Amino acid sequence: MLRLSTLALLAISVPALAQEINVYSHRQPELIQPLVDAFTAETGIKVNVAFVDKGMAERLQAEGDRSPADLVLTVDIARLAQIVEADVVQPVQSAVLEANIPETLRDPNDKWFGLTSRARIVYASKERVQPGEVTTYEDLASEKWKGRICSRSGLNDYNIALLGAMVARNGEEAATKWIEGVKANLARKPEGGDRDQVKAIAAGECDIAIGNTYYIGQMLNDPEQKAAAEAVNLVFPTFVGGGTHLNISGVAMTKSAPNKENALKFMEWLSGDTAQKIYAETNYEYPVKPGVERSALVQSWGEFTPDTTPLADIAKARAAALKIMETVNFDG
Ligand code: FE
């Protein structure tokens, strides 16, 4: 009797073990969990998530063929470009991904796929900045903002991508002048994350800051941060002659993916209606899939014109942007 039931248990547990995938995520575990739970409930496929903060490409290179990872989830186009350059991902051909994700938000060589986008905009004090006072990124270097701008580190990926877009659009010389101008306007040395700049504006330390859209959604939903978020207006600046800077979060399949078939299922699912809605509602990001609605809050921020500088060009300008940021000693 005992032997039979043991066998019965084994018979159940073997196929269950096979239905697993492993994800290395640079994205916050709290954000990924609702997606993972919904996917597992729908498909029975278990998703193990390892949070990898730094050195994603190096880790995958070191692990080589023995890597347990099937997929990488990350923010920022340059990070996606880095893992492609490190040759640790494989191209994925999928009619579902092609149908769900606009061409401009995926790699022409099918090695990375955007899952959400976010705009990098200006948080402006409701009290001290009038509507219409900021309209372009270029204007942040103008003298009228002297001592009025707060910023996180210039070396942060989001800021490097914004400066990279400036390099791609206007060249290195103009980009250098611009970031020097912004630095000259700082109210304090760069510190903290985007949310800390909102808090600094609310506390009267500065009047404007550059930050990502979704952080305001997160803050408005946090009783401790709500008041600070309510002290700022969201301004969607454009590049002169261009649009508002966008970045993405995305997914790539590792070269060594041991569970390729199920990993592809998860990738496709992440680009579909259920996941896109979760991204929109729980993290206030812009869904990439046409037709999936933005959250009501994000809709209230209004429409804007996304800049058309190709993401690949922004990634290519990363090295130049990093060098400029170090040369002007933005954080110093
Ligand atoms: Fe972020």
Determine phi and psi for 39, rounding to 5 degrees: -65, -45
Contact 74, 301 (CB under 8 A): no
Q: Could you give the C-alpha distances from 250 to 73, 119, 143, 287, in angstroms and in order?
A: 6, 15, 37, 11
Q: How far is the CA of 15 from the centre of ligand 1 (A)?
A: 37
Q: What is the pLDDT of residue 1?
A: 43
Q: How far is the CA of 73 from the centre of ligand 1 (A)?
A: 13
Tokens of 322: 């990093």
Distance CA 319, CA 241 (A): 24
Q: How far is the CA of 211 from the centre of ligand 1 (A)?
A: 9
Distance CA 74, CA 88 (A): 14
Confidence tier at 112 by pLDDT (50, 70, 90): very high
Q: What is the pLDDT of residue 310?
A: 92
Q: How far is the CA of 195 from the centre of ligand 1 (A)?
A: 10
pLDDT digits (tens, 9 = 90+) for 188-247: 999 999 999 999 999 999 999 999 999 999 999 999 999 999 999 999 999 999 999 999
Confidence tier at 2 by pLDDT (50, 70, 90): very low
Q: How far is the CA of 75 from the centre of ligand 1 (A)?
A: 7
The dihedral of CA 135, 301, 299, 229: what is its sign?
positive
Indicate the DSSP class of residue 120: E
Q: How far is the CA of 214 from the centre of ligand 1 (A)?
A: 8
Q: How far is the CA of 26 from the centre of ligand 1 (A)?
A: 10
Q: What is the pLDDT of residue 15?
A: 47
Distance CA 265, CA 44 (A): 12
Confidence tier at 313 by pLDDT (50, 70, 90): very high
Confidence tier at 91 by pLDDT (50, 70, 90): very high
pLDDT digits (tens, 9 = 90+) for 6-30: 444 544 444 445 699 999 999 988 8
- Burial state string for 126-146 with b = 16 or more CB within 10 A and e = fewer than 16: eeebeeeebeebbbbbeeebe
The interaxial angle of helices 318-327 and 172-184, nearest 10 deg, is 40
Contact 119, 246 (CB under 8 A): yes
By residue count, the chain amounts to: 332
Average pLDDT, the chain: 94
Q: How far is the CA of 172 from the centre of ligand 1 (A)?
A: 26
Contact 198, 228 (CB under 8 A): yes
CA-nearest of 263, 218, 245 to 28 is 218
Reply yes or no on whether the pLDDT at 142 is more than 70: yes
CATH topology match: 19-117+247-293 vs 118-245+304-328? yes
DSSP class per residue in 15-52: HHHHSEEEEEE-S-HHHHHHHHHHHHHHH--EEEEEE-
Q: How far is the CA of 64 from the centre of ligand 1 (A)?
A: 28
pLDDT digits (tens, 9 = 90+) for 285-305: 999 999 999 999 999 999 999
pLDDT digits (tens, 9 = 90+) for 246-280: 999 999 999 999 999 999 999 999 999 999 999 99
Superfamily of domain 19-117+247-293, CATH level 4 = Periplasmic binding protein-like II (3.40.190.10)
Q: How far is the CA of 249 from the centre of ligand 1 (A)?
A: 9
CA angle 47, 53, 54 (to 5 degrees): 125
CATH number for region 118-245+304-328: 3.40.190.10
Contact 142, 181 (CB under 8 A): yes
Q: How far is the CA of 3 from the centre of ligand 1 (A)?
A: 53
Q: How far is the CA of 212 from the centre of ligand 1 (A)?
A: 7
Task: Give percent above pLDDT 90 in the chain.
Answer: 92
Q: How far is the CA of 308 from the centre of ligand 1 (A)?
A: 21
The reported pTM is 0.90
Q: Domain residue spans in the chain?
A: 19-117+247-293, 118-245+304-328
Q: How far is the CA of 158 from the centre of ligand 1 (A)?
A: 8
Q: How far is the CA of 313 from the centre of ligand 1 (A)?
A: 21
DSSP class per residue in 207-247: SEEEEEHHHHHHHHTSTTTHHHHHTEEEE--B-TTS-B-EE
pLDDT digits (tens, 9 = 90+) for 162-205: 999 999 999 999 999 999 999 999 999 999 999 999 999 999 99
Q: How far is the CA of 16 from the centre of ligand 1 (A)?
A: 34
Reply yes or no on whether the pLDDT at 52 is more than 50: yes
